[in-house]
């Protein structure tokens, strides 16, 4: 049975909890990225005109998720890029996770993209990576 949704935002005292779902762990990571950028703007209005790559290594899945989202937010901070399409591949080699990903979108344009809430950073707060039935679920807090 496919997952009921791609992502959702849950209430949190001062920040936002992002939850990404997927039939695979990689799809859950992709949808978590989409959910993160949906805090910033309406991702349905972001055209996948330009792509950026992410290549990183992590000691465990939580660190892999953190680095994936953090690297994407760095493109937002440094270049003003917002993304709507994501691909990620996770490979475990010698006890470490290799992250190879791509995000496609465009530079934030206030005449086209609605302002949401600026995401300052990815955090480990309330982070969970779990398989629930046939669906992977990844959850974390973003600092706004």
> Residue 12: which pLDDT band, with cuts at 50, 70 and 90?
low
Q: List residues forming the annotated binding site.
A: 15, 143-144
Which residues fall in the annotated binding site for Ca(2+)? 15, 143-144
pTM above 0.85, yes or no: yes
What is the spatial distance between Cα 82 and Cα 122, in angstroms, rounded to a whole number?
Answer: 15
pLDDT at residue 1 in the model:
54
Question: HEC profile for the chain?
Answer: CCCCCCEEEECCCCCEEEEEEECCHHHHHHHHHHHHHHHHCCHHHCCCCEEEEEEEEECCHHHHHHHHHHHHHHHHHHHCEEEEEEEEEEEEECCEEEEEEEEEEEECCCCCCCCCCCCCEECCCCCEEEEECCEEEEEEEEEC
**Which whole number is the average pLDDT over 7-22?**
84
7-143, superfamily in CATH?
A: Archease domain (3.55.10.10)
Each residue of 73-118: pLDDT tens digit? 999 999 999 999 999 999 999 999 999 999 999 999 999 999 999 9
Domain ranges of the chain: 7-143
């Amino acid at each position: 049975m496919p997952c009921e949704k791609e992502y959702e935002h849950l209430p949190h005292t001062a920040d936002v909890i992002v939850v990404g779902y997927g039939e695979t762990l990689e799809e859950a990571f992709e949808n978590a990225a989409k959910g993160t950028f949906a805090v910033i703007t309406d991702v349905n209005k972001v055209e996948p005109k330009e792509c950026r790559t992410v290549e990183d290594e992590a000691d465990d899945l939580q660190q892999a998720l953190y680095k994936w989202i953090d690297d994407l937010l760095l493109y937002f901070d440094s270049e003003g890029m917002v993304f709507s399409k994501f691909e990620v591949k996770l490979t475990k080699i010698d006890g470490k996770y290799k992250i190879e990903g791509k995000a496609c979108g465009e530079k934030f344009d206030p005449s086209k993209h609605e302002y949401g809430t600026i995401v300052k950073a990815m955090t480990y707060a309330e982070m969970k990576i779990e398989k629930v039935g046939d669906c992977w679920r990844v959850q974390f807090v973003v600092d706004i």
